[in-house]
Amino acid sequence: MTQQTWDEVGGLLPHDEFRAASEAIVANIEQVIEGKTATVRLALAVLLAEGHLLIEDVPGVGKTKLAKALARSIDCSVRRIQFTPDLLPSDVTGVSVYNQETHDFEFRPGAVFANLVVGDEINRASPKTQSALLECMEERQVTVDGVTYQLQTPFMVIATQNPIEMEGTYPLPEAQRDRFTARIAMGYPGPEAELAMLDGHGAADPLQELRAVSDADTVRRLIATVREVHVADAVKQYAVDLVTATREAPDLRLGASPRATLQLLRTARAVAALEGRDYVLPDDLQALAVPVLAHRIIPTADAQLARRTTDAIVAELVHRLPLPHDRQRSPYDNRPAADGNGRAPYEPRRR
Amino acid sequence: MTPKGSPVTATRNLGFVAAAATLLAAAPLSAIFERWTWLIQAAIAVTVVAGVAALTRLVRAPLWGQVLGMLGGLTLALAWLFPAGTELVAFLPTPGTFAHFGELLSASVVDMRSYGVKVPDTDPLLFVSVLGIGGVAVVVDVLAVGLRRPALAGLPMLAIYSVPVAVYVDSVPAVPFVVGAAGYLWLLVTDNVDRVRRFGRRFTGDGRDVDVWESSPLAAAGRRLAVVGVVLAVALPLAVPGMTGGLLNAVGAGTGTGSGNGQGGNPGRIDLFASLSGQLNQSEVYEMVTVTTTEPNPFYLRYGVADELRPDGFRVRNPTGRPVTRDLPDPTQRSGTGNGVERAQYRATVEVSKNLNMPLLPAYAEPVRTEELSGNWLYDPNQQVLFSNRENSRGKRYSFDYVRSTYTPTALRRAPSLPSDHPIRLQQTATPPVEQVDTLVADLVRGRSTDYDKVRAIYDHFSADNGFTYSLTTKGGTSGQDIVDFLNNKAGFCQQYAAAMAWLVRSAGIPARVAFGFTNGTGRTDDGYVLTNRNLHAWTEVYFDGMGWVPFDATPAYGVQGSTRSAWAPDTDAPEPAATEPGAPAAPDDSEAAPEATDPDAADQDTDAGLAVGANDPTRQAPVWPWWAAGALALLALLAVPALRRMALRRRRVARPTVALAPATVDAGVGPAGEAGRPVTVVLDPDRARADAHAAWDELLDTLVDYRVRVDRTETPRATAERLVTEAVGEDASAATAVRLLGRAEELARYARAPLAGGELHPALRAVRGALATRTDRRTRLLAAVLPPSVLLRWRTALGNTSSRLVARTGDARYRLLRWSPRRLLATRTGR
């Protein structure tokens, strides 16, 4: 097993090769998931942003299928964990067992020792087991019995969960949710896509016929390319403004973390690269704000009573936050010149 | 009855404020009385009333009890101030006291009739005043404290103010009214402060308690309302034609433009000189007087006299006299008739227009009988003026008979000098010592024996031969220094000629004064004259014993329209050598002095008119239309400023060369062109390209604002471009491409490593502009061209920012100053 660490991602890919590789992966996944190009691209973007993906939707819309399709499209190690209430942390991370031949303890790696880890129904496991993912997701390492094992690159956890049925589930703790880069919903397919699905999935599961179109090495080079995408100061400022706005929004009890800022920008880089750009636009941040930020924040009791979802709150923030200008102050900005830089027009709340 | 729960202290304060406000409101009476005795007595009465009111409230008497108490207190105060002698213990009234009050009241009616303003301190008038002010104090106290309706208390206060208004026909001094209004405001403020305090604690917007020493946050709104009110009150009369008057006119136009507007009803107060020069210098010409007379060629119409000489110039004395309804002195009774003095009686009718507004009436010579004038008009036989303390001349029409005296030089020469102890000589020859004038007079009169010769020597001195010219542009003072200046500069107008000659003649020991009136003008009708403000004139009158006041007009005739000369004072500039020769016998037949005197004047008038048109038109009758044209041009220029600004902005943005080509010897790695590796590649200067893209984008945004397309600050350039494609420019494909190009250029310039290379931004801008223009209505297009909203918006924003910065800064300063406010000390004393 080659140990590719976090910092060793390989060389850059030229523009057209990057495009070809990414298009191939997307096209491959779309053989299985019809009519969900945006979702698929977002999933790939999260992979390229070195993040983790949480797919949350009602049963039967293809959450697991998307996860598996993504895993199969890339020729790399894939492990699948079915989270059940009786799953133990050692099933996830690995365990040291006594080897009678060597008379020594030998580490048996758990499910996370792979490039892609598909965690199905993650909220069905107990918090104890869920917590096993905390270290590996953020630090890409596993510590068992005082020994730390590095994980490979790429490393991505794709988890699915069902938000409707709460019986017998353990909601993800805040720390766990914050580690997921993006939460996406599948949504129902369109009528045409559903028709095509009936045709395609009628006889055989197309998933079985899916062939890998890429490998871990290519993905590493894709990641390296994404890391080189240019982010202008104004865009950075906008990202900070967005996150600050969630911290200061009156509807929110808990805003987004600095980690969220990092991941937002990283995902934006990936999206920009996937679109063939070598620079990030505020448009990318606007498009990513809901998937990247909405699952990390906690609305106030009032907002919950008003049935305002975090998605709606974040979307409204994006809608109201003016763009920062690296040039002179916009002439159409008729707010009083406070401490500048286009802060959200909210009173800072004292918590 | 004190309202339930109101603290007694507050009510007591309000009561004393009401009393003080009443006294302040009585301030206008100062314009009526000569002295201030009334104020002391009124203060005593008001204090007694307020004290009694406070006492009755202290014992919680009902409202009617308070009223009775106050009236009783007022009676006691009046009995003490105006005793009949029968009072017990000096102030307890007896029936005799009330009888005395009755007498005082009836006597006051008589006094009011007999005295003009300002009145001396007579008991009846003082009694009426104190009674009135005391009564007002009672009413104000009842309204403000008893009924808690201080706003209504303004009515009785206004009643006091109406007294001087009724007495002065014209206008009343403004300062006392301001004092009274301040008192009223004080009362209102006190009541409202009391009311707000009763709400409980005061809070600021952010929930902090307002300290006692701080002004209420509500006060800001009140101040703003007050400012708006004052601005409206000042601006509205300016906007409505015909409502200008008084203060505004005076401020706007300087020295006495309005004919007597804003000048008191007292004839002695008018500065006739200032009024005269103001009128002559006005560009507008308006009618003042229409006069018809039976006299074939009358001398000037006269309305005023300045005969008091002080170091600062001639002043108008208060005229005194008897009503014109009684018999007027007849000059034919005076000695000296015949013998070269002719007197003839004529009849004239004068119609004063609304433009002449003063307490004096114009008349010819010496009126002996008047018609259609009430007893309010008086005649001063000394000054020979018709005046009134109550009415003014505006719109008056009246007739009178008058006696015109004409003299021959011989007769005048025969007149003896006045004895040095003659009252007129004592009064009218005093001159402040001015050395230069005295030496000049001594030179002029050397060797002249008679008064007339001396006067003629002085009169002839003001001739063109000596270099005297007519000019309206000189300063119009008549003080000693001004006279010296005039004698040196030798340029001036009637005012200086008249004053200088009067001064010189006085200096020679002969009584002289300055008369004011109208020349005969140029507007001659069949049997009369139409006189305008341009015909206002001043001349000199010299007193000859036995003859009376004889007019001399030293002003150069060419400067005065309708100038009239007489046999005894011929035109010094006229070509006839006989007329300029002072010693020569004036005319072959003295008996026909009047026609003889006026004959050359007809010629004079013609030359006057000609000269006036030729030489003096530019200064005297400047045409008005250039001002209108200049004003209209200025207005147009002002209106064009936003459009010009917009055009300049556009030109500046477009003026940058779109493609700044620079041979790049160093491959900077910017843009795709850099990769080729050719020895000399042409690359775009990235900074320049960025600036161009920004300029183009700014221009696009401004265009959007101009055409009233929404501009969203939260949108990225790409989103804006897409929105424009779908919403604004429509199915115009080239415009859609252009919009996308602009959006892409801006996006790259802002966020990418390298800006867009070689985009044709300006054609794109033009295309978008054209597409937008075709899709908007005509009004929007017109506005975008004439008053571009983008420029206006930017200015408005700049103004708003400046003002908010200013407000913030003043707020800071205010807060810092408030720390030093003495009202802070109250906070410790008045604990809540």
Residue B822 pLDDT > 50: yes
Of B654, B650, B687, B792, the C-alpha closest to A331 is B792
- The class that CATH gives domain A15-227 is alpha beta
Mean pLDDT confidence for A329-336 = 45
DSSP characters over A246-290: HHH-TTEEE---HHHHHHHHHHHHHHHHHTT-SB--HHHHHHHHH
Asked if B699 has any chain A CB less than 8 Å from its own CB, the reply is no
A332/B752 touch (CB, cutoff 8 Å), yes or no = no
- The class that CATH gives domain A233-320 is mainly alpha
DSSP characters over B8-38: HHHHHHHHHHHHHHHHHHTGGGGGTBSSSHH
- Among partner residues A320, A332, A337, which is closest to B801 by beta-carbon distance? A337
Q: Which residues of A touch B694 (CB under 8 A)?
A: 327
Of B758, B717, B723, the C-alpha closest to A281 is B717
Mean pLDDT confidence for B213-234 = 80
CA distance A234 to chain B (A): 7
Task: Check whether residue B576 and residue B666 sit in a common domain.
Answer: no
B65: its two tokens = 């009890």
**The whole model's pTM is what?**
0.52
Residue B639 in any domain: the answer is no
Q: What is the pLDDT of residues B759-818, one digit of tens each?
A: 788 888 888 888 888 888 889 888 888 888 888 888 998 999 999 999 899 888 888 887
CA distance B278 to chain A (A): 51
Task: Check whether residue B425 and residue B399 sit in a common domain.
Answer: no
Mean pLDDT confidence for A1-24 = 74
Residue B214 in any domain: the answer is no
Mean pLDDT confidence for B640-657 = 83
Task: Check whether residue B408 and residue B423 sit in a common domain.
Answer: no
Of A71, A16, A17, the C-alpha closest to A44 is A71
Integer angstrom CA distances of residue B608 from B204, B269, B516, B602 = 75, 33, 20, 10
Of B656, B652, B784, B764, the C-alpha closest to B709 is B784
Which residues are within 8 A (CB) of B396 and not within 5 positions of it... i.e. 6 or more apart? B350, B351, B352, B361, B373
Confidence of residue A281 (pLDDT cuts 50, 70, 90): very high
Residue B170 pLDDT > 80: no
Residue from A332, A347, A350 to probe the interface with B (highest B Cβ count within 10 Å):
A332
B801/A336 touch (CB, cutoff 8 Å), yes or no = yes
Which is more confidently placed, B794 or B169?
B794
Separation of alpha carbons B83 and B78, rounded Å = 8
Asked if B4 has any chain A CB less than 8 Å from its own CB, the reply is no
Separation of alpha carbons B709 and B789, rounded Å = 11
Which residues are within 8 A (CB) of B88 and not within 5 positions of it... i.e. 6 or more apart? B94
Task: Check whether residue B434 and residue B381 sit in a common domain.
Answer: no
Separation of alpha carbons B158 and B167, rounded Å = 15
CA distance A282 to chain B (A): 7
Q: What is the pLDDT of residues B101-110, one digit of tens each?
A: 999 999 888 8
Helix (H/G/I), strand (E/B), else coil: B298: coil
Q: What is the pLDDT of residues B484-536, one digit of tens each?
A: 888 888 888 887 888 888 888 888 888 888 888 888 877 777 777 888 877 88
Mean pLDDT confidence for A24-35 = 88
Q: What is the CATH number of the domain that holds B454?
A: 3.10.620
Query: Residue B199's pLDDT is what?
Result: 74
Task: Check whether residue B58 and residue B193 sit in a common domain.
Answer: yes
Asked if A287 has any chain B CB less than 8 Å from its own CB, the reply is no
Q: Which of A120-124, A210-214, B435-439 has the lowest mean pLDDT?
A: B435-439
Q: What are phi and psi of B42, to 5 degrees?
A: -65, -40
Residue B647 in any domain: the answer is no
Q: Which of A130-139, A315-324, B311-320 has the lowest mean pLDDT?
A: B311-320
Write the DSSP symbol of residue B142: I
Residue B583 pLDDT > 50: no
Of A298, A343, A349, the C-alpha closest to A321 is A343
Domain ranges of chain A: 15-227, 233-320
Counting the structural domains of chain B, the total is: 5
Task: Check whether residue B702 and residue B604 sit in a common domain.
Answer: no
DSSP characters over A310-346: HHHHHHHHHHHPPPP-SSSPPTT--S---S-TT--S-
Mean pLDDT confidence for B461-486 = 76
Which residues are within 8 A (CB) of A193 and not within 5 positions of it... i.e. 6 or more apart? A34, A35, A36
Separation of alpha carbons B409 and B593, rounded Å = 10
Task: Check whether residue B387 and residue B429 sit in a common domain.
Answer: no
Instruction: Please name the helix (run of DSSP H) or strand (run of DSSP E) that holds residue A23, with its range, or none.
Output: helix A15-30
Instruction: Classify residue A35 as left (phi > 0), alpha (psi -120 to 50) or beta.
Output: left
Residue B674 pLDDT > 70: no
Task: Check whether residue B699 and residue B746 sit in a common domain.
Answer: yes
CB A117 within 8 A of CB A179: no
Task: Check whether residue B408 and residue B429 sit in a common domain.
Answer: no
Which is more confidently placed, A65 or B566?
A65
Q: What angle do CA B659, B664, B667 make, to 5 degrees?
A: 120
Residue B826 in any domain: the answer is no
Residue B629 in any domain: the answer is no
Give the ipTM of the model, two decimals please.
Answer: 0.81
Asked if B282 has any chain A CB less than 8 Å from its own CB, the reply is no
Write the DSSP symbol of residue B591: G
- Among partner residues B713, B752, B804, which is closest to A336 by beta-carbon distance? B804
Task: Check whether residue B234 and residue B146 sit in a common domain.
Answer: no
Of B650, B796, B817, the C-alpha closest to B214 is B817
B434-437 CB contacts, 8 Å cutoff, 24+ apart:
B434/B480, B434/B483, B434/B484, B434/B503, B436/B484, B436/B487, B437/B480, B437/B483, B437/B484, B437/B487, B437/B503, B437/B504, B437/B507
Q: What is the pLDDT of residues B706-722, one digit of tens each?
A: 888 888 888 888 888 98
A179-183, B29-33, B602-606 — most confident range: A179-183
Q: What angle do CA B788, B767, B784 make, to 5 degrees?
A: 10
Separation of alpha carbons A247 and B36, rounded Å = 73
- Looking at chain B, the whole-number percentage of residues with pLDDT higher than 90 is 9
Confidence of residue B250 (pLDDT cuts 50, 70, 90): very low
Task: Check whether residue B233 and residue B126 sit in a common domain.
Answer: no
- Among partner residues B714, B747, B753, which is closest to A230 by beta-carbon distance? B753
Mean pLDDT confidence for B10-38 = 85
Q: What is the pLDDT of residues A231-247, one digit of tens each?
A: 998 899 999 999 999 99
Of B325, B327, B346, B345, the C-alpha closest to B388 is B325
Q: Which of A313-317, B636-640, B827-831 has the lowest mean pLDDT?
A: B827-831
A117-126, B250-259, B357-366 — most confident range: A117-126
Write the DSSP symbol of residue B763: H
The boundaries of the domain holding residue B246 are: 219-253
Beta partners for residue B385, in sequence order? B380
| Number of other residues whose CB lies within 10 A of the CB of residue A98 | 9
A283/B719 touch (CB, cutoff 8 Å), yes or no = yes
Q: Which of A221-230, B403-412, B626-635, B693-702 has the lowest mean pLDDT?
A: B403-412
Residue B499 in any domain: the answer is yes
At B252, the amino acid letter reads: G
CB B330 within 8 A of CB B403: yes
Which is more confidently placed, B271 or A306?
A306
Separation of alpha carbons B347 and B403, rounded Å = 9
Residue B51 pLDDT > 50: yes
Separation of alpha carbons B213 and B193, rounded Å = 13
Task: Check whether residue B391 and residue B309 sit in a common domain.
Answer: yes
Mean pLDDT confidence for B328-337 = 67
B470: its two tokens = 């007519």
DSSP characters over B710-757: ---TTS-HHHHHHHIIIIISTT-HHHHHHHHHHHHHHHHHHHSSSPPP
- Looking at chain B, the whole-number percentage of residues with pLDDT higher than 70 is 77
Which residues are within 8 A (CB) of B87 and not within 5 positions of it... i.e. 6 or more apart? B79, B80, B93, B94, B96, B97
Q: What is the mean pLDDT of chain B?
A: 77
CA distance B779 to chain A (A): 23
Q: Is the peptide bond before A154 cis (omega within 30 degrees of 0)?
A: yes
B191-195 CB contacts, 8 Å cutoff, 24+ apart:
B191/B14, B191/B144, B191/B148, B191/B150, B194/B6, B194/B10, B194/B13, B194/B14
Asked if A336 has any chain B CB less than 8 Å from its own CB, the reply is yes
B797/A319 touch (CB, cutoff 8 Å), yes or no = no
